[in-house]
Chain A
Amino acid sequence: MEVLSLKVNGDTRCLAAAPQATLLEVLREELGLTGCKQGCDKGDCGACTVLLDGQPVLACLTLAALVQGREITTIEGLAPAHRRRCAESPCASKQDKLHPVQDAFDEAGALQCGFCQSGMILSATALLQRDDDPKRETIREALSGNLCRCTGYTQIIEAVERASDEHAGREHRPRAWEQPATEPAGEGES
């Protein structure tokens, strides 16, 4: 066993772990942060995505011992950090307790079973940090490491667009099912 010092969601936590322990194991089993999910334990599904210094990484492929001193953000840390930043406005409703990306996912129906959502929301948050008005193709690309089996990704993409619109103070784009007449794709598009 090794003694590790990890900075998770703003708190420094000391714990003992085997040298081969993954960040996923430590987060779930030692720190009780079960929002980080194990879907495959092989780096295929993205359900264990966390942010490492703001960048999405797969916790199941990350050795805990190697990320000491780095800033680790799990899904549990997203909303509290957001709340700290807007501490002057006390939380009133359920929606205010959520980070804007979490809120957009909830509102848009992007959550079905919810198992992939922690990873998906963290990947989306990282995307919006570097590009606050991403094109649809950029969103698809940025989320392509997070498998979702429920939604067909449509409402997830709409949630990211919604978060982006919200951030920019724009009117929300209509969702696919809200459009009474869908325009056929033009011949010139690819």
Chain B
Amino acid sequence: MAARDQHGPQAPWRGEFRVLTKPQRKVDGAAKATGEALFTDDLALPGMLYARTLRSPHAHARIRSIDTQAARALDGVHGVITGADLPQSYGVIPWTQDETALATDRVRFVGDEVAAVAAVDERTAEAACALIEVDFEVLPARLTPEEALANPEPAIHHNERRPGNISKHVKLEFGDVDGAAAQAAQVVEGDFSFHGTTHAAIEPHCALARPDADGRLTLWSATQITHYLHRALALVLGLAPEKIRVIQPCLGGAFGGKSDPFSLEFCAAKLALITGRPVKLLWTREEVFYAHRGRHPMQMHYRTSSDGEGHLTGVDARLLIDGGAYSSFGLVTTYYSGQLLTGPYDFPSYRFDATRVFTNKPPCGPKRGHGSVQPRFAFEVQLDELAERLQLDPIELRRRNLLGENTTTVNGQRITSNGFARCLDEVERASGWRERRGRLPRGHGLGVAGSMYISGTNYPVYPNDMPQGGVQLKLDRSGLVTLFTGANDIGQGSSTVLAGIVAEELGVEPEAVRVVAADTDLCPVDLGAYSSRVTFMVGNAAIDGARKLRRQVLAALAQEWEVAEEEILLAGGRAGLFNGDRDLPMREAFVLAETRFETLGATGSYNTPTLGGDYRGGTIGASPAYSFTAHVVEVRVDCETGVIRCEKVWIAHDCGRALNPVLVAGQMEGSAYMGIAEALFEHHTINSRGLHAGPSLLDYPLATSVDTPELAALIVESIDPEGPYGAKEAGEGPLHPSLPALANAVHDALGLRLRELPFTPGRVLRALRSQAEAGS
């Protein structure tokens, strides 16, 4: 690790935080509250055309021919494109580039993009799409992984290295799992299933492309990966990267659903280049459901072994992952399904055997808690079963297996800070666990679960040795500090966190910091908002950059005042001395610095240390720090209707240090809400014809304010040695325990083990019936 990446967790001005660790309003809060904030679809340009996408009605078909003549002839139509116009394949992972913007010869799911039309308005573009004639040769569709494995031909993707519709297979073993099971005092074994859910961000995908007069192209898009999109556009359009500018305007939620390059971005760009006019392409809600990239359905078999005291001795997992029609992030998903399970508990042997299979369904991808939410559900339910067998309190069982801090997991991941023990203490205390668990009336119960998650990933999506996060800073005589960063603020508040860091370091008010983010022309590269990386990586880069400027301001003041730099305090928009002598508005301090050092600017970078296990795939899942979470969930189950009512979730999360507790609590609450909703309501169902069962925000049941339980965020701080001031992630980790803690609460309430998600009333009633039959 470069020295520049280590800042230490201390506050910058003799150990006291003045801006960070306190509730700060968001830098874009007022703009969002007043409706001023501009999202992609809010932008309109002179002469703008509107585009629509034509999609496949078949789950699997070969395209014999496409006739666009009638569409082109329609009055008001300015451009029609098909796969032949954008033949270059792409994909977010460089080794699995199996997508094209529009189908070139084959469609692989209902909704796969076939053609796009730009016209004077949306209705005309829609009408033109209906005039495009596509001659399909329908092929057999494989709608389950079992079906796809049993019928390798016709293959969904031809790949000689991985035939048989297998997208990715990973098998890794650490220690002697079978030996552990053979010698174990207890072995719990069982099957679990996760059904598949989608992000359903309230803002639909939208892209707006403008061909600039100087031969450049500007694309505004609702993306969380400006940089990867920039690369993909250059590849697919065959344009030099310096001719392309990608800007992410305000983004209306993403949760991983906007972290692939999407067809609409290429189509809007291509249509703009062809027509010479700005082109906007907004997907309907139904199209967003088909674009998907949501959480993978998984069938999971787990065998967990322990000694007679509940110390885990081995975990053995077999996972069948339904990938849908394309690879997307699937290579990473397959690794994550195993690699991220090796904490917060210590076990000496572990094996996972995960297979991701292509099916003729909307492609799955990363969703908040990528790849690891489903295995965590299975494993934490098994821990509850183990505790039951051993007649141990489930929290006590977890305490007996703590991984601890400054250690290494069974699969070789380095653990530094670890506040998991305190997370367990917090949820136990806050929920009244000891007095209430196991003692509530039938139908009313409490359940616990824990988890661990990455704060960014060591391995960038494409291999390179350049910084993973970067910022550029300028300050001048106006008193304003401007931070330029490629980091995508997707609502999680990354720009606010970065502004807070700069304000803390330079002693200015947060209002005196302006953040310019996610514009590839203006901002240094950052890899994007995924893998919970931004606070950790870009936060460190911001400290790096701000300290360079701080040194210049301090040097100028020290010279002016003839004092040592250590005596100077920059805080609250004023420069002075710690002893109270001297007081200057910061603007005047900046004038002194600009006078002495001339035009002021600095860059800051972050790169991860070299980490990860020494084996193929050992770097996937390696992170500079891990967050830890424990939940206790309280449920009431109506035994007449089978309806589970989740009443409350206590969420204890070790975020390292809470740089802005309002934002941290918001991430914790939002995560728990999403996890509970996935367990109880959401179901991304594709029927036997490959159609989505209900591609609307009514039929895909999102939890409303009435359905959502009371959420109590209990912030735990472990002060990570490498995080910015000790901070780690908070955006994804706190989702994981919601599902198993809820399942375990149902067991406490009724003695039922629910292993199949979601926990619908029908499933609960069936389980109750089986329970009654077994008991009679």
Q: What per-residue 1/0 map shows which CB atoms of B1-39 lie under 8 Å from chain A?
A: 000000000000000000000010110111111111111
Interface residues of A in 131-157 (CB under 8 A from B): 139-141, 143-157
Interface residues of A in 68-106 (CB under 8 A from B): 74-76, 78-79, 94-95, 97-98, 102-103, 105-106
22 interchain pairs, CB-CB under 8 A = A34-B42, A38-B41, A44-B696, A74-B35, A102-B34, A109-B662, A109-B663, A111-B29, A112-B253, A112-B491, A113-B251, A113-B254, A140-B705, A144-B705, A144-B706, A149-B201, A149-B670, A150-B253, A155-B666, A177-B664, A182-B712, A184-B431
Would you call B666 and A112 a contact (CB within 8 A)?
A: yes
Please name all residues of chain A whose beta carbon is closer than 8 Å to the beta carbon of B662 when the two chains form the complex: 108-109, 155, 177
- B776 contacts A by Cβ under 8 Å: no
Contacts A42-B698, A106-B25, A109-B663; is A147 near B33 (CB within 8 Å)?
no
- B740 contacts A by Cβ under 8 Å: no
> CA–CA, A187 to B440, complex, Å?
8
Would you call B491 and A182 a contact (CB within 8 A)?
A: no
> CA–CA, A185 to B548, complex, Å?
51
> CA–CA, A23 to B213, complex, Å?
35
Residue of A nearest to B34 (CB): A79
Shortest C-beta distance, A9 to chain B (Å), equals 11
Would you call A184 and B436 a contact (CB within 8 A)?
A: yes
Would you call A154 and B202 a contact (CB within 8 A)?
A: no
Residue of A nearest to B23 (CB): A109
Q: What per-residue 1/0 map shows which CB atoms of B178-210 lie under 8 Å from chain A?
A: 000000000000000000000111111000000
- B673 contacts A by Cβ under 8 Å: yes
Would you call A106 and B30 a contact (CB within 8 A)?
A: yes
Would you call A176 and B697 a contact (CB within 8 A)?
A: no
Please name all residues of chain A whose beta carbon is closer than 8 Å to the beta carbon of B710 when the two chains form the complex: 154, 176, 185
Interface SS majority for chain A: loop
- B322 contacts A by Cβ under 8 Å: no
Residue of A nearest to B698 (CB): A44
Q: Which 8 A-B pairs have the closest CB atoms?
A: A35-B35, A113-B491, A152-B673, A115-B252, A114-B32, A184-B432, A177-B665, A75-B35
Please name all residues of chain A whose beta carbon is closer than 8 Å to the beta carbon of B666 when the two chains form the complex: 109, 112, 150-151, 155
Shortest C-beta distance, A20 to chain B (Å), equals 10
> CA–CA, A153 to B670, complex, Å?
8
> CA–CA, A37 to B203, complex, Å?
8
> CA–CA, A47 to B252, complex, Å?
11
Given contact pairs A39-B203, A98-B34, A106-B32, a sample of 4 additional A-B residue pairs in the complex whose CB atoms are under 8 Å apart? A38-B204, A47-B202, A105-B33, A147-B202
- B429 contacts A by Cβ under 8 Å: yes
Q: Which of B44, B650, B708 has the most CB of A within 10 A?
A: B708
> CA–CA, A87 to B628, complex, Å?
50
Shortest C-beta distance, A184 to chain B (Å), equals 3
Please name all residues of chain B whose beta carbon is closer than 8 Å to the beta carbon of A154 when the two chains form the complex: 665, 669, 673, 708, 710-711, 713
Would you call A149 and B702 a contact (CB within 8 A)?
A: yes
Q: What per-residue 1/0 map shows which CB atoms of B655-680 lie under 8 Å from chain A?
A: 00000011111101111111000000
Please name all residues of chain A whose beta carbon is closer than 8 Å to the beta carbon of B35 when the two chains form the complex: 33-36, 74-76, 118
Quick one: which of A76, A118, A151 contacts B670, CB cutoff 8 A? Answer: A151
Please name all residues of chain B whose beta carbon is closer than 8 Å to the beta carbon of A13 when the two chains form the complex: none
Interface residues of A in 153-180 (CB under 8 A from B): 153-157, 175-177, 179
Please name all residues of chain B whose beta carbon is closer than 8 Å to the beta carbon of A118 when the two chains form the complex: 35
Give A contacts to B, CB under 8 Å.
28-29, 33-42, 44-45, 47, 74-76, 78-79, 94-95, 97-98, 102-103, 105-109, 111-118, 121, 139-141, 143-157, 175-177, 179, 181-185, 187
Contacts A152-B669, A177-B665; is A103 near B33 (CB within 8 Å)?
yes
- B714 contacts A by Cβ under 8 Å: yes
Shortest C-beta distance, B158 to chain A (Å), equals 38
Would you call B705 and A115 a contact (CB within 8 A)?
A: no
Would you call A176 and B711 a contact (CB within 8 A)?
A: yes
Shortest C-beta distance, A29 to chain B (Å), equals 8
Q: Which of A29, A115, A147 has the most CB of B within 10 A?
A: A115
- B704 contacts A by Cβ under 8 Å: yes
Q: Which of B35, B662, B706 has the most CB of A within 10 A?
A: B35
Residue of B nearest to A147 (CB): B702
Shortest C-beta distance, A95 to chain B (Å), equals 8
> CA–CA, A106 to B29, complex, Å?
5
Please name all residues of chain B whose beta carbon is closer than 8 Å to the beta carbon of A148 when the two chains form the complex: 202, 705
- B407 contacts A by Cβ under 8 Å: no
Would you call A182 and B42 a contact (CB within 8 A)?
A: no
Would you call B30 and A44 a contact (CB within 8 A)?
A: no
Contacts A75-B34, A113-B252, A155-B666; is A40 near B285 (CB within 8 Å)?
yes
Contacts A40-B697, A42-B696; is A114 near B491 (CB within 8 Å)?
yes
- B255 contacts A by Cβ under 8 Å: yes
- B474 contacts A by Cβ under 8 Å: no
> CA–CA, A97 to B36, complex, Å?
12
Would you call A42 and B697 a contact (CB within 8 A)?
A: yes
Shortest C-beta distance, B31 to chain A (Å), equals 8
> CA–CA, A63 to B201, complex, Å?
26
Contacts A113-B490, A139-B705; is A150 near B285 (CB within 8 Å)?
no
Shortest C-beta distance, A16 to chain B (Å), equals 14
> CA–CA, A134 to B38, complex, Å?
32
Residue of B nearest to A186 (CB): B432
Please name all residues of chain A whose beta carbon is closer than 8 Å to the beta carbon of B29 when the two chains form the complex: 105-106, 111
Quick one: which of A39, A121, A143, A179 contacts B33, CB cutoff 8 A? Answer: A121
Quick one: which of B25, B26, B38, B255 contacts A149, CB cutoff 8 A? Answer: B255
> CA–CA, A40 to B288, complex, Å?
10
Please name all residues of chain A whose beta carbon is closer than 8 Å to the beta carbon of B39 when the two chains form the complex: 34, 37, 115
Shortest C-beta distance, A18 to chain B (Å), equals 9
Would you call B705 and A117 a contact (CB within 8 A)?
A: no
Residue of B nearest to A123 (CB): B705
Q: Which of B431, B650, B664, B713 has the most CB of A within 10 A?
A: B713
Quick one: which of B203, B647, B704 contacts A113, CB cutoff 8 A? Answer: B203
Interface residues of B in 113-132 (CB under 8 A from A): none
Interface residues of B in 233-260 (CB under 8 A from A): 250-255
Residue of B nearest to A32 (CB): B44
- B284 contacts A by Cβ under 8 Å: yes
Residue of B nearest to A179 (CB): B712
Quick one: which of A111, A141, A179 contacts B26, CB cutoff 8 A? Answer: A111
- B430 contacts A by Cβ under 8 Å: yes
Contacts A33-B35, A106-B33, A182-B714; is A176 near B429 (CB within 8 Å)?
no
Shortest C-beta distance, A91 to chain B (Å), equals 12
Would you call A97 and B30 a contact (CB within 8 A)?
A: yes
> CA–CA, A114 to B36, complex, Å?
11
Shortest C-beta distance, A127 to chain B (Å), equals 11
Would you call B698 and A149 a contact (CB within 8 A)?
A: no
- B648 contacts A by Cβ under 8 Å: yes
> CA–CA, A184 to B430, complex, Å?
7
- B511 contacts A by Cβ under 8 Å: yes
Contacts A111-B29, A113-B490; is A39 near B34 (CB within 8 Å)?
no
Please name all residues of chain B whose beta carbon is closer than 8 Å to the beta carbon of A97 when the two chains form the complex: 30, 34
- B733 contacts A by Cβ under 8 Å: no
- B492 contacts A by Cβ under 8 Å: yes
Would you call B32 and A111 a contact (CB within 8 A)?
A: yes
Would you call A39 and B202 a contact (CB within 8 A)?
A: yes
Shortest C-beta distance, A31 to chain B (Å), equals 12
Contacts A42-B696, A112-B670, A147-B202; is A155 near B665 (CB within 8 Å)?
yes
Q: What per-residue 1/0 map shows which CB atoms of B487-507 lie under 8 Å from chain A?
A: 000111100000000000000
Interface residues of B in 30-59 (CB under 8 A from A): 30-39, 41-42, 44
> CA–CA, A106 to B26, complex, Å?
7
Would you call B674 and A152 a contact (CB within 8 A)?
A: yes
Shortest C-beta distance, A40 to chain B (Å), equals 4
- B384 contacts A by Cβ under 8 Å: no
Would you call A149 and B712 a contact (CB within 8 A)?
A: no
Q: Which of B251, B252, B661, B708 has the most CB of A within 10 A?
A: B252
Shortest C-beta distance, A118 to chain B (Å), equals 5
Please name all residues of chain A whose beta carbon is closer than 8 Å to the beta carbon of B593 when the two chains form the complex: none
Contacts A39-B202, A147-B202; is A177 near B713 (CB within 8 Å)?
yes
